């Protein structure tokens, strides 16, 4: 299959993994608005301990051994010609270039708050994005987190653990947070939050100004549609799940009513057998779970099968969310299965086994040490 070109539009978590799995089987070109992998995962860890988070989650592409055969283009996707099979990329100097493909993988992800943005950035700008919110939170005496998903919950836990003298409150609209997870997961996480000193505020739904996306930390009083009086804090973190798919560069007939890329069970775009989509941008299932369930391996296999004229396999989505909810804690990392069962990696195993062996070698197939 060498000589067939696969263009991967977006080199976030799932895009990088897909590129690595195809690198030895095709001519792979990856297009990214960043000069490296800037993971959208573990928001709480990123906010509380950005330098530590960056060592594992902000990795220049040249450090990935598995990307040695992949050409990366630093730029912003502005269009696609499905008939000519080319994508258009605006480069940092403002010029445009067309990149041809035999197969196109759409993995451009979503915009979510200030931590997941599609804007073209340099390494220095990424560093500023990491430091700015951390410094604002460090200076705040009280922090309010609005939202009930994993990003909100992990942020509350990490902020309370990093700064135990702060007042940290978590406001969420239902009786419990983590409604996409198994109830046993929330029961365990709830105890963790309480032990860390987080004040839980169930039954609060924020009143939002039309168009508000929560893209910045704020300090104004928060109003509620559920009847409670306004609440205040020195810093308000909005983790309300208002994700927006990064699909402005795509024609509307590829998208569903919410702007996500329509896909078949094989992660193929209907009507375009040479186009696939994966990750948060793909409307694979209600949870868009192909971003977090190693669908990159299935997708790479399906692309190879398509080139060889072999049958493709279906992506089977889990019914519940799973994974690390709170992120790495002083006593280790807890990972929750879809049925709510927790598996713990002690702190020493996280640094000596999980990250260097399982993640960097087993998943990413080798990550070079950062140059001093």
Span 62-81, pLDDT tens digits: 999 999 999 999 999 999 99
**Residue 1 scores a pLDDT above 50:** no
**DSSP H/E element including 333:** strand 333-336
Domain with CATH 3.50.50.60 in the chain: 5-121+243-319, 132-241
* CA torsion through residues 102, 107, 111, 113, sign: negative
Q: How confident is the model at residue 31 (pLDDT cuts 50, 70, 90)?
A: very high
Cβ 335 vs Cβ 324: under 8 Å = yes
Per-residue pLDDT, 85: 98
Q: Residues 270-306: pLDDT tens digits?
A: 999 999 999 999 999 988 999 888 899 999 999 999 9
Report the pLDDT value the prediction gives residue 318, as an integer from 0 to 100: 85
- Mean pLDDT calculated for residue range 191-210: 96
- Contact assessment for residue 92 and residue 74, using Cβ atoms and an 8 Å cutoff: yes
Rounded to two decimals, what is the model's pTM? 0.94
| Long-range CB contacts for residues 229-234, cutoff 8 Å, separation at least 24 | 231/144, 231/169, 231/171, 231/201, 231/204, 232/142, 232/144, 233/140, 233/142, 233/143, 233/144, 233/167, 233/169, 234/139, 234/140, 234/141, 234/142, 234/143
Helices of type H across 35-182: 43-48, 50-57, 123-139, 150-162
pLDDT of residue 372: 57
Could you tell me how many helices (H) and strands (E) the chain has, helices first? Answer: 8, 22
Within 149-277, residue ranges assigned H as helices are 150-162, 183-195
Range name among 87-101, 246-260, 316-330 with the lowest pLDDT average: 316-330
Topology of the domain covering 132-241: FAD/NAD(P)-binding domain (3.50.50)
Which CATH fold would you assign to the domain 5-121+243-319? FAD/NAD(P)-binding domain (3.50.50)
Whether pLDDT at 24 is above 70:
yes
- Extract the tokens encoding 195: 């032990």
Per-residue pLDDT of 144-195, as tens digits, reads 999 999 999 999 999 999 999 999 999 999 999 999 999 999 999 999 999 9
């Amino acid at each position: 299959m060498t000589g067939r070109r696969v263009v991967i539009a977006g080199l976030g978590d799932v895009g990088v993994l897909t590129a690595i799995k195809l690198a030895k089987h095709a001519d792979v070109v990856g297009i990214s608005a960043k000069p490296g992998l800037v993971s959208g995962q573990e928001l709480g860890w990123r906010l509380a301990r950005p330098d530590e988070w960056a060592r594992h989650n902000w990795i220049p592409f040249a450090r990935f051994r598995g990307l040695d055969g992949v050409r990366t283009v630093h730029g912003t996707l502005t269009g696609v010609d499905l008939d000519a099979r080319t994508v258009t990329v605006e480069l940092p100097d403002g010029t445009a270039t067309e990149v041809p493909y035999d197969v196109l993988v759409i993995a451009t992800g979503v915009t979510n708050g200030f931590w997941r943005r599609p804007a073209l950035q340099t390494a220095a700008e990424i560093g500023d994005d990491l430091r700015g919110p951390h410094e604002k939170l460090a200076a705040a005496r009280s922090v309010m987190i609005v939202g009930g998903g994993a990003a909100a919950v992990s942020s509350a836990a990490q902020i309370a653990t990093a700064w135990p003298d702060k007042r940290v409150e978590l406001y969420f609209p239902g009786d419990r947070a983590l409604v996409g997870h198994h109830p046993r997961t929330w029961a365990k996480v709830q105890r963790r939050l309480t032990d860390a000193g987080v004040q839980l505020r169930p039954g609060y739904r924020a009143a939002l100004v039309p168009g508000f996306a929560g893209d910045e930390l704020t300090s104004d009083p928060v109003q509620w549609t559920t009847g409670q009086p306004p609440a205040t804090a020195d810093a308000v973190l909005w983790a309300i799940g208002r994700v927006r798919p990064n699909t402005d560069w795509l024609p509307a007939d590829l998208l569903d009513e919410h702007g996500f890329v329509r896909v078949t069970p094989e992660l193929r775009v209907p009507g375009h057998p040479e186009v696939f989509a994966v990750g948060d941008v793909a409307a694979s299932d209600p949870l868009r779970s192909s971003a977090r369930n190693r669908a990159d391996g299935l997708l790479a296999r399906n692309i190879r099968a398509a080139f060889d004229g072999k049958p493709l396999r279906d992506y089977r989505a889990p019914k519940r969310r799973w994974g690390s909810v709170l992120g790495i804690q002083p006593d280790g990392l807890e990972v929750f299965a879809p049925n709510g069962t927790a598996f713990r990696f002690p702190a020493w195993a996280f640094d000596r086994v999980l990250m260097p062996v399982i993640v960097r070698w087993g998943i990413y197939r080798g990550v070079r040490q950062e140059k001093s």
